[in-house]
Amino acid sequence: MGINAKEAKKPAAKSARPPSDVKESPGSKNGSARGRLAEASGDELLLDNKELLRILTEVRNGNFNVRMPIDEVGVKGKICDTLNEIISLNEEMMREFTRAGNTIGKQGKLTQRIEVPNTKGSWGTGVESLNTLISDLVHPTIEIAHVISSVAKGNLSQEMPLEIGGHPLQGEFARIAREVNDMVKQLNLFSMEVTRVAR
DSSP 3-state assignment of 71? coil
pTM of the model: 0.67
| Rounded distance between C-alpha atoms, residue 104 and residue 135, angstroms | 11
Find which of 14-28, 89-103, 163-177 is predicted with most confidence, using mean pLDDT.
89-103
**Confidence at residue 28, expressed as pLDDT on a 0 to 100 scale:** 52
- Domain positions in the chain are 45-109, 119-199
**Confidence at residue 40, expressed as pLDDT on a 0 to 100 scale:** 43
List, for residues 73-105, the tens digit of each pLDDT value.
Answer: 889 899 999 999 999 999 999 999 999 999 998
Residues facing residue 167 across a β-bridge: 164
103, 112 contact by CB (below 8 A): yes
Measured CA to CA in angstroms, residue 179 lies from 160, 161, 186 at distances of: 10, 12, 10
Q: How many CB atoms lie within 10 A of CB 31?
A: 12
List, for residues 141-160, the tens digit of each pLDDT value.
Answer: 899 999 999 998 888 888 99
**Confidence at residue 138, expressed as pLDDT on a 0 to 100 scale:** 92
User: Within a 13 Å sphere around the CA of 190, how many CA atoms are in the beta-carbon half?
Assistant: 9
111, 147 contact by CB (below 8 A): no
